[in-house]
Structure 1
Amino acid sequence: MSILKIARMGHPVLRKVAERVEDPNDPEITRLVADMIETLSDAGGVGLAAPQVFQSLAVMIFFVPPTRAGKGDDDGEIPLTVLINPEIEPLDDAQKVGGWEGCLSIPDFQGYVPRWDKIRYRGIDENGEPVEKIASGFHARVVQHEYDHLIGVMYPERMEDMSLMGFTDELRRDPPDVSGRNESQQEN
């Protein structure tokens, strides 16, 4: 296993649609997933998509840590999940909710991003087994964020108000007023 370099915003690999994985049991995919897990652990994030490690493949990993579990409508703690060839859809009763997001490909920045509050996602896991879940709260936000990397979209492209983006340490020191913007999710 290896810690991989993370592509930063502006690199072309982050702007294109990732290719579907034909065989999740391919040793190259198995190694990529293991390397992504080690890279995510080293970087301290909660999710990582293959394009972020210069592999334009539809592979993403994520988890919801205990520190994020149980806030508002969140699903609680979610163990490390591998999702290959994912699809997502907002559920009929879903609304968009704003929340703060960071990204390993945009280090030291955060932005206030609207996301669907309830989604269904499906794909296959690292063993080729089907996965289908309904996600809400932070769980749904993380899945959508990582999925965006697979379709060549980064979180600033989802933002509605670019004045709500800045250096993480500055935003913590003097947080902008997001009242009236679905504050229940603003701590991402």
Structure 2
Amino acid sequence: MGTPNDRAPLAERVGQLLAVDGPLPLVAAGDPVLRRGTEPYDGQLEPALLARFVEALRVTMRAAPGVGLAAPQVGVGLRIAVIEDPAPVPEEVRLARGRVPQPFRVLVNPVYEPVGARRAAFFEGCLSVPGYQAVVARPAEVRLTGQDEHGRALDEVFTGWPARIVQHETDHLDGTLYLDRAEPRSLSTHQAVAERWSQPTPERAARELGFDLP
């Protein structure tokens, strides 16, 4: 547990961020805050400040737009992330990727572990790595434990695209970017993905760019 002196800079940092209305500025790859890992949350923010910070993360995620956002992506080294996915995708994409709607949720001190050995590979992007996507092979099913913003225990199994989202955001809290897990030969601009690799699965991209899928 942090001392009062440890807590003050984090609370001050969050207070400064929230002094301006609207979406928070996003931190891009190259900033050390994305690589340091995070402090477990144990009350560093007073309840009212935590609620305001969570709401700011929601506003920022939606404005980006994205389906998840971790505290380090706005420069705060706390183990907190938010997710939300309306999943407005065609039926063939939904079926291929297991992408189903996810309500807004707050993940506090999340940790995941694979369930089974099955892996799935799809293009993935990140708000902190703007302009690019790459194929990432991840466990297709994970068990996520932690708490919500009210301290209630979270212990849930996620599959399909929701499993990918919670892995991506939890990785941020450990100082890991999706590029660390990506197939380098798959790296593509958003435009290239839209024009060439928009199929429900990345089989064509793997064949033409020369990389293997699990």
The bucket for the TM-score relative to the shorter chain is: 0.7 to 0.9
CA distance in 1, matches of 2:205, 2:87: 27
Q: Find the counterpart in structure 2 of residue 127 from structure 1.
A: 150
Aligned Cα root-mean-square deviation (Å): 2.0
- TM-score (normalizing by structure 1): 0.88
> Quick one: which amino acid aligns to residue 177 of structure 1?
A
Q: Where does residue 13 of structure 2 map in the other structure?
A: none
Question: Do the aligned partners of residues 25 and 95 (structure 1) sit closer, same or farther apart at CA in structure 2, a change above 3 Å counting?
Answer: farther
> Which stretch shifts more, 68-77 or 105-114?
68-77
Larger helix proportion of the pair:
2
* Aligned-pair identity (%): 32
Query: Is 1:63 the equivalent of 2:84?
Result: yes
Tell me, in whole angstroms, the C-alpha distance in 2 between the residues paired with 1:66 and 1:150.
24
Q: Deviations over 1:55-96 (max 9, x none)?
A: 0000011123232584247273210110101111101x2322
**Residue type of the alignment partner of 2:61:** L
What's the counterpart of residue 65 of structure 2? 44
SS of 1:131's partner is strand
> Are the aligned partners of 1:61 and 1:80 in contact in 2 as well (CA < 8 Å)?
yes
The runs of 5 or more residues in structure 1 that have no matched partner are: 183-188
8 Å CA contact retained: 1:86, 1:147: yes
Structure showing the higher strand proportion among its residues: 1
CA distance in 1, matches of 2:113, 2:141: 9
Give 1:126 deviation, angstroms.
Answer: 1.5
Which one of the candidate residues 95, 112, 115 is aligned to 1:88?
Answer: 112
Picking from 181, 184, 188, the partner of 2:213 is 181
Query: Structure 2: which 5+ residue stretches go unaligned?
Result: 1-20, 198-203
Q: Which has the higher contact order (CA 8 A, sep 6+)?
A: 1
Residue 177 of structure 1 aligns to a residue in which SS?
Answer: helix
For 1:11, give the aligned amino acid. Answer: D
Separation in 2 of the partners of 1:17 and 1:27?
A: 25
Change in Cα spacing, 1:65 to 1:137, as seen in structure 2 (3 Å) is same
Residue 11 of structure 1: aligned partner: 31
Q: In 2, distance between residues paired with 1:73 and 1:102?
A: 15
Aligned in 2, Cα 1:134/1:42: closer, same or farther, shift over 3 Å?
same
Q: Tell me the distance in 2 between the aligned counterparts of 1:2 and 1:64.
A: 20
d(CA) in 1 for partners of 2:138, 2:131: 21
| CA positional deviation for 1:151 | 0.2
Deviation at 1:25, TM superposition (A): 5.8
The range that moved more, 6-15 or 22-31, is 22-31
Question: What residue identity is the alignment partner of 1:60?
Answer: A
Range 18-27 or range 81-90, more displaced: 18-27
